[in-house]
């Protein structure tokens, strides 16, 4: 389209925003005419807004922060350094300030912190024609949507919902309480954002009402807010699965020092775990001296356990995050993983057996026994890796930790240590009196 | 709320649905009164709908499939076995059948396959009052939303958009072409669902128009449809990062045989890769015989490389999926990872050095040289792991493969093999003439 160049360049800027340096961002922001700068500002997320907001001269801040809806103001303020926050709150009109303060009382990642407190309200005794005019009038106000209208009693308790579309579809003289939908899906104000994501992804809602424990309506959450948080949750899980703390910032934004800090923690823990392999190997030093050939297959054997464990833990972590697998399913998962582990272990054992038999003599005269040792321990180690990897997320969740902390490298390290013990025990059994 | 028991039990069923066996699902579905069974059916996703649909007696199928909007029918049909598909299409009224056929012509994961072809249309010369009445009348039709209305010229080309809210806010005698928004964000009908997810998560749209290359409007995509596909995309990426094919079905739904098949492929590839470690170890057999102490640290050294590589690859894969890092950023990423890899390598090297020095004599009289060999190779291997892990997703994308195929276990295996070579080379340098 010819007349869309402006919007498309805005979209390009937004798409490129995460890859820009801070100086480049400022440069673009200041180079735009006010109207376009406002469009850009409104489209950025809270942390990018906060970054620009802090750069603005003091006398300009008020008009910029007042552009935003209360939930967006709350997001922006949460991203500001602590000592700037009250200063920013002072810039708001008293009504909005109260609303923002109420939102800030909730944690950022629970329903109360995500919701918009400005929604369309109707009284149950209104007629449909009145309700339509009333919503029409409210369309000028700063409310999130007029397409869903919530019916509240005199104590602000939620009684039902009507859509504007339903109002259009009904006789104008009917009364709201007759036509409203009363079997409602509601979200409790303390519900955590990951759970909210599940509710929205399981069913196709555009907006849901947030209520407190007494069913008093507090605000609404629209699906477009949830999209952002869902991406964030998936990112956190993926980063943890990869064996790092969640970065919390775009990859190219985070400073090198912070990034090393977030990554070094887990790597050090894993390294300390791996030190046990050195201790174990030390215990089996005698065996290795007698049969150096055993050492040849150590990397192969232990990493097969690590790989199958990584696989299992990742599948379970994701299935838990999606609500496909719950705590009480642990037994079913265990049964499945015993089956998978056995099957996968046998497949690798056969491959390993063939490979050693083919090379044969290269591994000395007792190569058949070596092949047996490697294959049998592969079955044991893969089975053990699969079971450990699948059960660890349950164990972590049980003690109140994040299942995603059972990262692929964590499981791999755990299985490496025990894998060595399995390998040397099996080798002992087959090679006792021959090589050992 | 007292009158909400029904809806809440529906919600519970939906939440539990993925964990039910097929028999349990049928039992619940048939036990519900028609109205509730319809609610349930409408709320299920395409594959669960298809499963129940196939179980229905032939004479009931028509009324069930006709409950659905064209885009949902298309989803259901895509989930049916090939030979049932045309039979199901026959059950539709001719208008819907045409629409569904048009949708089926698109791949399931591109915009054309996700969109709803029934949207509210306005002509540019309409007056606002006419437009409101027209939308009001359309509110009874099976269109996705009346809250966004698209202005099309006589060739069905998209000219602009107005929201119902804007119409409410304007003088009734104004003409649509004067008030419509013309700087539109549109989605091309061939755009892939991952890209669509990015557009929606970067900005807060509730719906976007889908157009073909000539700007002819084809349909709309609403954010609630995107939520589902975004979860699917994240799941696929996570499963691949964990070193398995994407399962494509909920964990507890997939048959044990299919699951082993999806997991065995990668494990076998990785195993074959790991076989190179055995070959490499064979090459260094002489060194190990002379200095068995070297073997002690093999698992420690190579898995440190694997862990740092897993970390790096996971961070980059996710950053790419979110659009935070693009192909042209590879140089910046390389520079960052050289820094991170060096930093992380040094940290682990110091830990390793201290550990060996503390145990000292246990590793023989030349333990200082052993400590040096281990530490220096740690720096090299971690640096190498980090760089390999971060660059591999770029390389895969460059040759047209999915960057997520650079799974944590894949990178770990790659780095294991090269890590051994680095370790023995460094050891050679420090121990030449002493132990070797």
CATH code for the domain of A204: 3.10.580.10
Structure tokens at B340: 């991170």
Sort out which chain B residues have CB atoms less than 8 A from A333's CB and list them: 251-252
Distance of alpha carbon B126 from alpha carbon B123, whole angstroms: 6
Q: Is A267 on the interface with B (CB under 8 A)?
A: yes
For residue A97, the distance in angstroms to the closest alpha carbon of chain B comes to 23
B419, closest residue in chain A (CA to CA) = A299
Residue B427 confidence (pLDDT):
92
Whether residue B405 lies within 8 A of chain A, CB to CB, comes out as no
CB contact, 8 Å: B178 with chain A?
no
Backbone phi and psi for residue B284, each to the nearest 5 degrees, phi listed first: -100, 15
The pair of three-digit structure tokens given for residue B422, joined into one six-digit string: 């680095």
A 42-101 residues with CB < 8 A to B: 43
Contact at CB, A299 and B298, closer than 8 angstroms: yes
What secondary structure letter does DSSP report for A303? H
At residue A159 the predicted structure's pLDDT band, cuts being 50, 70 and 90, is very high
- Taking CB atoms and an 8 Å cutoff, what residues of chain B touch A124? none
Task: For residue A267, list chain B residues with Cβ-Cβ distance below 8 A.
Answer: 304, 307-308, 311, 344, 347-348, 382
Q: Does residue A185 sit in the same domain as residue A275? A: no
Instruction: For residue B272, list chain A residues with Cβ-Cβ distance below 8 A.
Output: 351
Q: Looking at chain A, which residue has its C-alpha nearest residue B254?
A: A336
Distance CA A238, CA A246 (A): 8
Query: Does the beta-carbon distance from B15 to A202 stay under 8 Å?
Result: yes
User: In angstroms, what separates the C-alpha of A65 from chain B's closest C-alpha?
Assistant: 18
Domain boundary residue among A105, A140, A156?
A105
Q: Is B317 on the interface with A (CB under 8 A)?
A: yes
Query: Closest Cα partner for B344 from B298, B314, B379?
Result: B379
Chain A residue with Cα closest to B271: A304
Most B-contacting residue of A296, A377, A393, A410 (CB-CB within 10 A), to test interface: A296
Give CA separation, A427 vs A69, A132, A378, A407, B289, in Å: 68, 81, 11, 30, 18
Structure-block tokens of residue A263: 């990554």
pLDDT at A6 over 70: no
B24: three-class secondary structure by DSSP: helix
Q: What pLDDT is attached to residue B107?
A: 75
Question: In this structure, are B172 and B66 located in the same domain?
Answer: no
User: Which domain does B23 fall in, by range?
Assistant: 2-105
pLDDT in the model for residue B394? 94
Same domain (yes/no): A14, A74: yes
**Domain end call among B197, B222, B247:** B222
Same domain, B309 and B414: yes
Q: Round to whole Å and give the CA distance between B269 and B284.
A: 24
Cα–Cα nearest to B408, from B317, B282, B297, B342: B317
**Interface subset of B 105-134, CB within 8 angstroms of A:** none
In a domain, B236, yes or no: no
A interface test, pick of B203, B259, B288, B347 with most A CB neighbours within 10 Å: B203
Distance CA B295, CA A215 (A): 65
d(CA B401, CA B405): 8
Cα separation, A125 vs A135, in Å, equals 15
Whether B143 contacts chain A with CB within 8 A:
no
Q: Tell me whether A140 touches chain B (CB under 8 Å).
A: yes
CB contact under 8 A, B242 and A292: no
pLDDT tens, residue by residue, A365-415: 888 898 999 999 999 999 999 999 999 999 988 988 888 877 888 888 888
Evaluate whether B368 touches B357 at the Cβ level (below 8 Å): yes
C-alpha to C-alpha distance for A144 and A208, rounded to whole angstroms: 12
- Identify all chain A residues contacting B350, using CB atoms and an 8 Å cutoff: none
**Dist CA A231 CA A321 (whole Å):** 13
Q: What share of chain B is helix, strand, coil (3-state, %, to 5)?
A: 70, 10, 25
Question: Are A77 and A159 in a shared domain?
Answer: no
List CB contacts (< 8 A) between A308 and chain B: 263, 267
Residue A363 lies inside a defined structural domain of this protein: yes
Question: pLDDT category, A9, cuts 50, 70, 90?
Answer: confident
- Order of strands, sheet of B187-188, starting from the edge strand that comes earlier in the sequence: B187-188, B207-211, B217-222
CATH classification of the domain holding A97: 1.25.60.10
Q: Do A303 and B267 touch (CB under 8 A)?
A: no
Here the CATH number for the domain that contains residue B335 is 1.10.357.20
Angle at A277 between CA A276 and CA A280, to 5 degrees: 85
The answer on B311 and B267 residing in a single domain is yes
> What tokens were used for A245?
């703390």
Instruction: Please give, rounded to a whole number of angstroms, the shortest distance from the CA of A30 to a CA of chain B.
Output: 21
A324: which chain B residues are within 8 Å (Cβ-Cβ)?
18-19, 250-253
Q: Given an 8 Å threshold on Cβ–Cβ distance, is A324 in contact with B215? A: no
Whether residues A295 and B304 touch (CB distance < 8 A) is answered with no
Separation of alpha carbons A288 and A367, rounded Å: 16
Angle between helices B298-321 and B223-241 (to 10 degrees): 160
Structure tokens, B286: 């002489």
A110-114, A226-230, A337-341, B168-172, range with greatest mean pLDDT: A337-341
Distance CA(B309)–CA(A409), nearest Å, equals 10
Interface mutation target, options A231, A304, A410, chain B, most CBs of B under 10 Å: A231
Residues A101 and A124 in one domain: no
pLDDT of residue A7: 47
| Residues of chain B neighbouring A323 (CB-CB closer than 8 A) | 15, 18
pLDDT > 90? residue A276 = no
Among B303, B349, B381, most A C-beta atoms within 10 A, so best to mutate, is B303
Evaluate if residue A277 carries a pLDDT over 90: no
Note whether A282 contacts B: Cβ–Cβ < 8 A.
Answer: yes
Mean pLDDT of A162-189: 90
pTM: 0.74
Q: Is A171 on the interface with B (CB under 8 A)?
A: no
Per-residue exposure over B280-293, b if at least 16 CB sit within 10 Å of its own CB, e if not: bbbebeebbeebbb
- Calculate how close chain A gets to B209, using CA atoms only, in Å: 13
Query: Is the CB of B388 inside 8 Å of chain A's CB atoms?
Result: no
Measured between CB atoms, which of A182, A231, A351 is closest to B271? A351
The band of A105, judged by pLDDT with boundaries at 50, 70 and 90, is confident
For residue A263, give the nearest of B186, B235, B344 by CB distance.
B344
Share of chain A above pLDDT 70, in %: 98
Residues of chain A neighbouring B6 (CB-CB closer than 8 A): 183
Considering only the beta carbons, identify the residue of B202, B302, B318 that sits closest to A14: B202
B250 touches chain A (CB under 8 A): yes
Question: CB burial class (10 A; 0-12, 13-18, 19+) of residue B349?
Answer: buried
Domain-located, residue B276? yes
Residue B241 pLDDT:
81
- The nearest alpha carbon in chain A to B226 belongs to A227
Pick from A30-34, A104-108, A169-173, B145-149: least confident: A104-108
Same domain, A94 and A125: no
- Six token digits for residue B337: 């990872």
Place of tokens 């009001």: B136
Q: Are residues B154 and B301 in the same domain?
A: no
Whether A288 maps to a domain, the answer reads: yes
User: Measured between alpha carbons, how far is B183 from B206 in angstroms, rounded to an integer?
Assistant: 16
Q: Of B210, B246, B217, B209, whose CA–CA distance to B231 is shortest?
A: B246
Does A228 map to a domain?
no
pLDDT in tens, chain B (436 residues): 344 444 447 777 877 887 788 888 888 888 888 888 888 888 888 888 998 998 888 888 888 898 888 888 888 888 888 888 888 888 988 888 888 888 888 777 788 878 888 889 999 999 999 999 888 888 777 777 888 999 999 999 999 999 998 898 888 899 999 999 888 889 998 888 888 888 887 777 788 999 999 999 999 998 877 887 788 888 888 888 877 888 888 888 888 888 888 888 888 888 888 888 888 888 888 888 888 888 889 999 988 998 899 889 988 988 888 888 889 999 999 999 999 999 999 999 999 999 889 887 777 788 889 999 999 999 999 999 999 999 999 999 898 888 887 788 888 888 888 999 999 999 999 988 787 7
Q: What mean pLDDT do residues A335-359 have?
A: 92
Residues of chain B found within 8 Å of residue A191, distances taken between Cβ atoms: none
Residue of A nearest to B1 (CA): A215
Q: Would you say the C-alpha torsion B305, B306, B311, B312 has a positive or negative sign?
A: positive
Does residue A234 lie in a domain region? no
Q: Order of strands across the sheet with A207-211?
A: A187-188, A207-211, A217-222
Q: A151 Cβ partners below 8 Å, 6+ apart?
A: A121, A122, A123, A124, A158, A159, A160, A161, A162, A176, A177, A180
Q: For residues A150-161, give the mean pLDDT.
A: 93
Note the pLDDT of residue A151: 95
Q: Are residues B126 and B91 in the same domain?
A: no
Please judge whether A200 and B224 are an interchain contact, meaning their C-beta atoms are less than 8 angstroms apart: yes
pLDDT at B177: 93
Minimal Cα–Cα distance from A279 to chain B, Å? 8
What are the CB-based long-range contacts (under 8 Å, 24+) for B404-407?
Answer: B404/B236, B404/B237, B404/B240, B404/B241, B404/B317, B404/B321, B405/B240, B406/B313, B406/B317, B407/B240, B407/B241, B407/B242, B407/B243, B407/B244, B407/B266, B407/B313
Q: How many domains does chain B have?
A: 3
Q: In Å, how far is A28's CA from the nearest CA of chain B? A: 18
Q: Which of B197, B296, B315 sits opposite A251 (nearest CB)?
A: B315
Q: What pLDDT score does B20 carry?
A: 83
Residues A334 and A261 in one domain: yes
Asked, for residue B335, whether it belongs to a domain, the answer is: yes
Q: How confident is the model at residue A160 (pLDDT cuts 50, 70, 90)?
A: very high
Across the range A129-138, mean pLDDT stands at: 88
CB nearest to A285's CB, from B243, B292, B382: B292
Same domain membership, residue B31 and residue B163:
no
pLDDT at A4: 40
Residue A330 lies in a domain: yes
Mean pLDDT of A132-136: 88
Residue A102: predicted pLDDT: 81
Exposure of B249 by Cβ count < 10 A (0-12 exposed, 13-18 middle, 19+ buried)? middle
Is there a contact between B298 and A302 if contact means CB atoms under 8 Å apart? no
């Amino acid at each position: 389209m010819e007349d869309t160049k402006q919007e498309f360049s805005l979209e390009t800027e937004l798409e490129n925003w995460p890859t820009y340096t801070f100086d480049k961002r400022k440069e673009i922001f200041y180079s735009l005419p006010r109207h376009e700068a406002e469009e850009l500002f409104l489209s950025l997320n809270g942390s990018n807004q906060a970054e620009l907001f802090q750069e603005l001269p003091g006398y300009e801040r008020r008009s910029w922060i007042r552009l935003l809806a209360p939930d967006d103001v709350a997001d922006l303020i949460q991203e500001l350094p602590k000592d700037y926050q009250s200063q920013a709150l002072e810039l708001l009109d008293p009504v909005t300030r109260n609303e923002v303060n109420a939102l800030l009382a909730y944690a950022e990642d629970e329903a109360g912190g995500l919701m918009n407190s400005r929604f369309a309200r109707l009284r149950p005794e209104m007629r449909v024609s009145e309700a339509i005019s009333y919503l029409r009038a409210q369309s000028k106000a700063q409310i999130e949507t007029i397409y869903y209208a919530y019916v509240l009693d005199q104590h602000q308790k939620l009684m039902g919902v009507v859509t504007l579309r339903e109002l259009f579809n009904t006789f104008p003289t009917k009364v709201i309480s007759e036509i409203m939908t009363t079997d409602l899906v509601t979200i409790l104000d303390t519900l955590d954002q990951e759970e909210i994501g599940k509710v929205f992804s399981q069913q196709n809602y555009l907006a849901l009402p947030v209520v407190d424990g007494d069913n008093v309506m507090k605000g609404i959450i629209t699906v477009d807010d949830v999209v952002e948080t869902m991406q964030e949750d998936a990112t956190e899980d993926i980063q943890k699965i990869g064996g790092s703390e969640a970065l919390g910032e775009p990859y190219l934004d985070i400073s090198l020092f912070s990034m090393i800090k977030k990554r070094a923690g887990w790597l050090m823990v894993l390294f300390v775990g791996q030190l046990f392999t050195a201790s174990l190997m030390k215990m089996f030093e005698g065996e290795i001296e007698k049969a150096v050939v055993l050492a040849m297959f150590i990397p192969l054997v232990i990493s097969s356990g690590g790989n199958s464990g990584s696989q299992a833990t990742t599948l379970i972590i994701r299935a838990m995050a999606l609500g496909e697998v719950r705590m009480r399913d642990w037994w079913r998962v265990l049964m499945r993983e015993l089956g998978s582990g056995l099957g996968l272990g046998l497949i690798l054992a056969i491959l390993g057996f063939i490979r050693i038999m083919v090379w044969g003599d290269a591994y000395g005269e007792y190569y058949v026994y070596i092949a047996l040792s490697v294959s049998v321990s592969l079955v044991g180690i893969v089975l053990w890796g699969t079971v450990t990897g699948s059960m660890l997320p349950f164990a972590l969740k049980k003690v109140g930790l994040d299942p995603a902390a059972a990262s692929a490298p964590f499981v791999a390290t755990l299985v490496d240590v025990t894998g060595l013990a399995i390998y040397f025990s099996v080798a002992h059994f087959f090679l006792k009196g021959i090589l050992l």
